[in-house]
């Protein structure tokens, strides 16, 4: 090795190390309702558990791809998809498009459907009414808005609900969500039907029969991780 080449390598090494140290983490932003936030029913009241899907997902990602991945939980209990694009007075606004432009996230997770069905069932006049067809229109707008800012998108089916909540009839929303995934060519995490394949799936739910148990959150996280890694493995390996 020549003296000149050795000198160049010695000078370059600190710069390369500094570039690695300054590499920003890959950010995944999860938007959804209370099942994204991590609510469980415990002792007759709802609480947010740390043992939720998004935290479990973060652990799986770090184990496989390293520490330079951050998962931000934007789940809001009671939220429906319309709240990202419709104001309280039912007027369209640009909040979602602007949020995507300003977001540092590379990957967007979207998990809505339970409250959309519930609010439509009860015809709550204070909220935007989302029929399954309107839900499809809004979810399409969310996907397109994220794509416009060069985000990768993964849709997540809502988990099934049981007991009295079954009256809300979530299945038509699940169907429409899968149609959005096909039309927009984005991956979707199958949760609804997969969970119901277990004959005793209700036992894996919280006592309110709406929110998963911590164990079911863990199972949901594994399915989301599987779709993430299968769809965007190269992107996730960027920092590993």
Unique residue bearing structure tokens 């204070």: 126
Residue 134: C-alpha distances to residues 117, 180, 188 (Å): 11, 12, 19
Give pLDDT, residue 185.
98
Return left, alpha or beta for 198; rule: phi > 0 is left, psi -120 to 50 is alpha, else beta.
beta
What are the average pLDDT values for consecutive 10-residue runs of the chain, which has 240 residues?
48 46 84 98 92 98 96 97 79 77 97 98 91 98 98 98 97 98 98 96 96 98 98 88
Residues 6+ apart with CB under 8 A from 75: 30, 31, 32, 33, 34, 35, 36, 37, 38, 54, 111
Q: SS3 letters for 63-132?
A: HHHCCCEEEEEEECCCCCHHHHCECCCCCECCHHHHHHHHCCCCEEEEECCHHHHHHHHHCCCCCCCCCH
Q: Can you give the pTM of this predicted structure? A: 0.88
Give pLDDT, residue 19.
41
Q: SS3 letters for 16-29?
A: HHHHHHCCCCEEEE
């Amino acid at each position: 090795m020549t003296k000149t080449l050795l000198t160049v390598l010695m000078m370059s090494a600190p710069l390369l190390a500094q570039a690695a140290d300054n590499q920003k983490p890959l950010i995944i932003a999860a938007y959804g309702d209370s099942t994204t936030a991590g609510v469980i029913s415990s002792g007759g009241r709802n609480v947010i558990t740390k043992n939720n899907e998004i935290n479990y997902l973060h652990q799986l990602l770090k184990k496989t791809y390293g520490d330079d991945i951050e998962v931000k939980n934007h789940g809001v209990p009671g939220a429906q998809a319309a709240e990202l694009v419709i104001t309280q007075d039912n007027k369209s606004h640009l909040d979602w498009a602007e949020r995507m432009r300003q977001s540092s996230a590379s990957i967007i997770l979207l998990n809505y459907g339970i409250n959309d069905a519930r609010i439509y069932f009860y015809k709550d006049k204070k909220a935007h009414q989302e029929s399954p067809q309107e839900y499809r229109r809004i979810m399409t707008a969310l996907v397109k808005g994220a794509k416009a800012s060069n985000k990768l998108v993964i849709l997540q089916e809502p988990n099934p609900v049981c007991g009295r909540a079954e009256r809300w009839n979530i299945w038509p929303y699940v169907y429409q969500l899968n149609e959005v995934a096909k039309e927009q060519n984005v991956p979707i995490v199958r949760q609804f039907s997969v969970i119901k394949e277990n004959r005793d799936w209700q036992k894996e739910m919280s006592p309110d029969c709406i929110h998963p148990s911590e164990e079911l959150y863990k199972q949901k996280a594994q399915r989301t991780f599987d779709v993430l890694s299968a769809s965007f493995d190269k992107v996730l390996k960027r920092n590993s």
